């Protein structure tokens, strides 16, 4: 595919992305209005209801202006990464998110690496040993992994590896890279259980499909080394389906992060979201939701671009189904 075609594709997707973000931000802003009860009461939280506080809130949230004007003013601030202050802590939402973002990113990237390495690894081994005892074991394990939600896996790992054999700490985040790595290993594994199972199932199916292809049989017949057949013929083709499921992997990781952070009492974005939901802290809720939405939308665009770069058979404008 020509470089220009790719550019047009990316530009077109960027327009769609911008429209999507506008819709998402509108829905996110409306959360304040969907919430039942008096707006002022919601925004006040536990603070005293006096004429001065009401006036301050009305000014801060432009409550005396029309709805669409309020949205516009809110969106303009949101673009500058300002989402107001938390009702519960009176700290700025951006500050709260910023303080918790590194932990969640560390956890997410750690799990993502685990997912790719073990998901693809197990899938490939399974396909090459198709029908054997290793394959059957891995297929069974994948079934178990798919049916185990992150919080159950988290509590089980906590019990076995932090309480029974004490290899890993039961709580805390640690300081310094290595210490943090050690503290976050159990949460990251719990988070990766479902995604590893999902990726390995897809990799296995794609590998089995590729193994039966004529060009693989011919490559073998030519006497190419099995390593060369595996890496240049099999893996490249088998990995394409894995890119197509990246959206599902990401949303599964985001769901998992929320559950795992609560299960391990980690101060990350997921636990921030749950605390905000429990205490009806709408500004925090809006900030976290918008961040997650942007990550999902941008990641899906990236996946589409990677997909097109990796697989030259896909033409611009054609939708992959």
Partner 1 sequence: MTSADPVLLLGEQRLRAGARARRRVVSPVIWLAFAVMAGVLLMALFGALLAPQSPSAQHLAIVDAPPSGAHWLGTDALGRDVLSRVIAGARTAFFGPLVIAAASFVLGNLLGLLAGYRGGLADAVIMRWVDFMWSLPSLVILVVVAGTVGSSYWLAVAVLIVLTVPFDTRVIRGATLEQVPRPYVEAAKTLGVPRWKIMLFHIWPNVSPVAVANTCLVFAGSLVTLAGLEFLGLGLPPGIPDWGLMLSQNEALLFTNPLATIAPGAMIVLTAIAMNLIGDWLYELLTSRGAGR
By beta-carbon proximity to partner 1, the closer residue of 96 and 234 is: 96
By beta-carbon proximity to partner 1, the closer residue of 116 and 249 is: 249
Q: Does an H or E element contain 276, and which?
A: helix 269-279
62: left (phi over 0), alpha (psi -120 to 50) or beta: left
Q: What is the DSSP string of 48-106?
A: ---HHHHHHHHHHHTTTS-HHHHHHHHHHHHHTT---B-TTT-SBHHHHHHHHHHHHHH
Minimum distance, C-beta of residue 2 to partner 1, in the bound complex (Å): 26
Taking the C-alpha atoms of residue 321 and residue 314, their distance in angstroms, rounded to an integer, is: 11
Minimum distance, C-beta of residue 225 to partner 1, in the bound complex (Å): 31
* CB count in 10 Å sphere of residue 50: 10
Sign of CA dihedral 158, 164, 170, 174: negative
Minimum distance, C-beta of residue 255 to partner 1, in the bound complex (Å): 4
Minimum distance, C-beta of residue 143 to partner 1, in the bound complex (Å): 6
Taking the C-alpha atoms of residue 231 and residue 102, their distance in angstroms, rounded to an integer, is: 35
Minimum distance, C-beta of residue 193 to partner 1, in the bound complex (Å): 11
Taking the C-alpha atoms of residue 206 and residue 7, their distance in angstroms, rounded to an integer, is: 29
By beta-carbon proximity to partner 1, the closer residue of 7 and 137 is: 137
Give the SS3 label for residue 313: coil
By beta-carbon proximity to partner 1, the closer residue of 220 and 280 is: 280
Which residue do the tokens 């404008």 mark? 317
Sequence-ordered list of residues with C-beta below 8 angstroms from that of 174, at least 6 positions apart, any chain: 180, 181, 182, 183, 184
Interface with partner 1 (CB under 8 A): 20, 31-32, 34-36, 143-144, 146-152, 155-156, 158-159, 163, 247-248, 250-252, 254-255, 258-259, 262-263, 273-274, 276-278, 280-282, 285, 289, 292, 296, 300
Closest CA to 209 of 178, 172, 237, 248: 237
By beta-carbon proximity to partner 1, the closer residue of 72 and 151 is: 151
By beta-carbon proximity to partner 1, the closer residue of 103 and 285 is: 285
């Amino acid at each position: 595919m020509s470089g220009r075609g790719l550019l047009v594709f990316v530009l077109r997707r960027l327009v769609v992305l911008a429209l999507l973000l506008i819709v998402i931000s509108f829905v996110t802003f409306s959360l304040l209005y969907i919430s039942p009860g008096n707006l002022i009461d919601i925004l006040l939280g536990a603070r005293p209801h006096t004429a001065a506080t009401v006036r301050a809130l009305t000014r801060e949230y432009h409550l005396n202006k029309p709805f669409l004007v309020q949205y516009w003013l809110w969106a303009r601030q949101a673009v500058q990464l300002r989402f107001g202050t938390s009702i519960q802590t009176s700290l700025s939402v951006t500050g709260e998110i910023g303080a918790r973002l590194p932990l969640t990113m560390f956890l997410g990237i750690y799990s993502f690496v685990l997912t790719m390495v073990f998901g693809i690894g197990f899938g490939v081994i399974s396909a090459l040993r198709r029908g054997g005892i290793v394959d059957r074991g891995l297929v069974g394990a994948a079934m178990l992994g798919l049916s185990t939600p992150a919080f159950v896996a988290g509590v089980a790992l906590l019990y076995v590896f932090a309480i029974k054999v004490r290899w890993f700490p039961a709580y805390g985040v640690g300081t310094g890279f290595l210490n943090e790595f050690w503290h976050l290993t159990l949460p990251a594994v719990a988070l990766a259980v479902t995604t590893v199972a999902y990726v390995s199932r897809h990799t296995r199916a794609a590998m089995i499909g590729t193994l039966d292809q004529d060009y693989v049989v011919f490559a073998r017949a030519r006497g190419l080394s099995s390593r060369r057949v595996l890496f240049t013929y099999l893996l490249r083709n088998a990995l394409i389906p894995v890119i197509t499921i990246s959206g599902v992997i990401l949303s599964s990781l985001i769901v998992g992060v929320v559950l795992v952070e609560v299960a391990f009492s980690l101060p990350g974005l997921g636990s921030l979201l749950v605390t905000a939901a429990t205490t009806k802290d709408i500004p925090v809720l809006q900030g976290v939701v918008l961040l997650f939405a942007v990550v999902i939308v941008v990641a899906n665009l990236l996946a589409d671009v990677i997909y097109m770069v990796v697989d030259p058979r896909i033409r611009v404008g054609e939708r992959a189904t």
